Structure 1
Amino acid sequence: MAIGLYIIGDEILSGRRQDGHFAKVRELLAERGLQLSWVSYLGDERPRLVEAFRRTFASDDIVFSCGGIGVTPDDHTRQSAAAALGVDCVLHPAAEMEIRARFGAETTGNRLRLGEFPAGSDIIPNPFNRIPGFSCGHHHFVPGFPEMAWPMMTWVLDTKYAHLHHQRDWVEHSIFVFDAHESRLLDLMHSVETEFGVTVFSLPSFGNARHARPHIELGAKGMAEKVAAAMRTMRAEVLARGLTIAPEDDPGA
């Protein structure tokens, strides 16, 4: 099952807020031997959200969605998910219990609206303030606030997908090749990818904080045993072509 991430909010696209979800979700998944297949940034635009959700509801992907589940006029995620599924938003009984437990005598109609989710949803507990998120199948909707979203996504991963943790022996390794042009390495990339069944990548740089000289980060990702063999072949061939590899980044040095 592929894993995807929606990051929703006009404030992200305008730059009023900086996104931290992408990096954190990568981290949470990597700790469990999982990885993201895709990420999409979306504004608070209901037709576009409906279209996006409808497309991924039709897939087998595990999807996390951060943002837009409040009740202010710019929050459209709950209603868009319901429209994509062709159902109504209704007050979830368990969400109502959580909200009433949180606010007690100060529970209002507007606060209860926070518990209106697409019919048939399950709730996601929120340890920060007890206002839950919701799941529709393999789609999991959490607030945009990191202090709420990240513990909630952790709960989802460890409660619903513990059986997937570390099932894939997936790794990514690379070497840094100096003063090389991708055109000189294209044939090697294609042949290694074909021979070993890995994904080969190439990231050129004119120089950065790690290596001041122009270089290419040349690597492979896939199953650990195949990646190890692919990297041995690439390293040997790069050296045979008279190119230089950064010793500190070369596991075969």
Structure 2
Amino acid sequence: MTERRFGLIVIGDELLSGKRQDKHFPKLVTLLHARGLELSWVHFIGDDPALIQRTLGETFASGDIVISCGGIGATPDDRTRECAAAALGVPLARHPDGVAELEARFGRPIKPDQRLRLVDFPQGSTIIPNPVNRVPGFAIREHYFVPGFPNMAWPMMEWVLDVRYPQLHAPGSRVEQAISVDGAKESDVIPLMERFVEGHPELRLSCLPSTEPHGFRLELGLRGPADAVAAGMEEIRAEVERLGFAWTPVTPPPEEDGSPV
């Protein structure tokens, strides 16, 4: 089976203006990594209906598994629900399970009426439970729409990964290793990298150059299946030594717990 790709869309003018800093990107990377999965792409976009609709039209057609954060409230600047419906060519419909969740949270009848807009979802959607205030997100065509608030979005992301995609989980199956090569420039290792990429298509090879006060330095990294990474890194270390460069292992930084601040 072809490996599934995960994508992230984060919506909000406040992010692009710098008023708020995004926390969803690093959190989703952490959640995926813990399950042996990885993020393939991320889009940050503002509250522009035409742009949201165009972006969703492209991602619905991609076949990717997509989590979208933000823009599903009831105020006029929350446009994600309408844009998702327009991108799919379906109407919005009040979701009965969503109404039941609101009634459990706010009582019956729901007042004010504007609250019911919170569960107007593209026709054919299912709901994503919200453990914080019971106002649900929605899912359609392997796109999962959650609020912008981290304390709500993050457990909803976990629910999506654990309830909808447990069959994709493979904890510990994908790893990353890197070495630091002192004195080397990119041009010194390009032939090495070209040979390696051709011979190991299952691995992702990266090169991060930097300049130091005493000269050049670069970091060569490998990401992929654990056994293949171990063997591939041994090959790279040997090649680096043959080129006459010394190397040291790079210790990855400790993972943050991702708690909201």
Q: TM-score range by the shorter chain?
A: over 0.9
Structure 2 partner of 1:220: 222
For 1:116 and 1:168, locate their aligned partners in 2 and report how far apart those are by CA, in whole Å.
39
Aligned to 1:2, which of 5, 13, 21? 5
Is residue 34–residue 172 contact of structure 2 (8 Å, CA) maintained in 1? no
For 1:237 and 1:27, locate their aligned partners in 2 and report how far apart those are by CA, in whole Å.
32
Structure 1 partner of 2:164: 160
Cα distance, 1:213 vs structure 2: 6.9
For 2:169 and 2:249, locate their aligned partners in 1 and report how far apart those are by CA, in whole Å.
33
Q: Any idea what SS the aligned residue of 1:19 has?
A: coil
For 2:77 and 2:65, locate their aligned partners in 1 and report how far apart those are by CA, in whole Å.
25
Is residue 176–residue 249 contact of structure 1 (8 Å, CA) maintained in 2? no
1:50-61 equivalences in 2 (<5 Å): 50-61=53-64
Runs of 4+ in 1 over 4 A off after TM superposition: 247-250
Over 3 Å counting, the alpha-carbon distance change for 1:174 and 1:110 in structure 2 is: same
Is residue 196–residue 229 contact of structure 1 (8 Å, CA) maintained in 2? no
- 178-187 or 241-250, which deviates more: 241-250
For 1:243 and 1:49, locate their aligned partners in 2 and report how far apart those are by CA, in whole Å.
49
For 1:34 and 1:107, locate their aligned partners in 2 and report how far apart those are by CA, in whole Å.
42
TM-score w.r.t. the length of structure 2 is: 0.90
Cα distance, 1:249 vs structure 2: 4.8
For 1:58 and 1:207, locate their aligned partners in 2 and report how far apart those are by CA, in whole Å.
45
Is residue 7–residue 40 contact of structure 1 (8 Å, CA) maintained in 2? yes
CA RMSD of aligned residues (A): 1.9
Over 3 Å counting, the alpha-carbon distance change for 1:65 and 1:245 in structure 2 is: same
Aligned length in residues: 247
Structure 2 partner of 1:33: 36
Work out whether 1:47 is the aligned partner of 2:50: yes
Structure 2 partner of 1:238: 240
For 1:18 and 1:99, locate their aligned partners in 2 and report how far apart those are by CA, in whole Å.
30
For 1:119 and 1:160, locate their aligned partners in 2 and report how far apart those are by CA, in whole Å.
20
Cα distance, 1:124 vs structure 2: 0.3
Structure 2 partner of 1:104: 107
Deviation per CA, 1:46-86: give whole Å up to 9, x if none. 01111111111112100000000011111110000000010
Work out whether 1:95 is the aligned partner of 2:98: yes
Over 3 Å counting, the alpha-carbon distance change for 1:248 and 1:12 in structure 2 is: closer
Cα distance, 1:167 vs structure 2: 7.6
For 1:45 and 1:233, locate their aligned partners in 2 and report how far apart those are by CA, in whole Å.
48
Q: Any idea what SS the aligned residue of 2:62 has?
A: coil
Is residue 34–residue 171 contact of structure 2 (8 Å, CA) maintained in 1? no
Cα distance, 1:237 vs structure 2: 1.4
Work out whether 1:141 is the aligned partner of 2:154: no
Structure 1 partner of 2:205: 200
Deviation per CA, 1:10-69: give whole Å up to 9, x if none. 000101010000000000001111000100101100011111111111121000000000
Is residue 202–residue 219 contact of structure 1 (8 Å, CA) maintained in 2? yes
Structure 2 partner of 1:187: 191
For 1:104 and 1:72, locate their aligned partners in 2 and report how far apart those are by CA, in whole Å.
21
Deviation per CA, 1:148-168: give whole Å up to 9, x if none. 000001011110001110088
TM-score w.r.t. the length of structure 1 is: 0.92
Over 3 Å counting, the alpha-carbon distance change for 1:113 and 1:244 in structure 2 is: same
Which blocks of at least 5 consecutive residues in structure 2 are unaligned?
253-261
Which blocks of at least 5 consecutive residues in structure 1 are unaligned?
none
For 1:175 and 1:245, locate their aligned partners in 2 and report how far apart those are by CA, in whole Å.
6
For 2:7 and 2:48, locate their aligned partners in 1 and report how far apart those are by CA, in whole Å.
19
For 1:31 and 1:199, locate their aligned partners in 2 and report how far apart those are by CA, in whole Å.
19
Over 3 Å counting, the alpha-carbon distance change for 1:248 and 1:38 in structure 2 is: closer
For 2:12 and 2:29, locate their aligned partners in 1 and report how far apart those are by CA, in whole Å.
20
Q: Any idea what SS the aligned residue of 1:206 has?
A: strand
For 1:248 and 1:123, locate their aligned partners in 2 and report how far apart those are by CA, in whole Å.
43
- 56-65 or 197-206, which deviates more: 197-206
Aligned to 1:151, which of 141, 150, 155? 155
Deviation per CA, 1:176-212: give whole Å up to 9, x if none. 111210000000011111122222110112359xxx9
For 2:228 and 2:193, locate their aligned partners in 1 and report how far apart those are by CA, in whole Å.
14
Structure 1 partner of 2:259: none
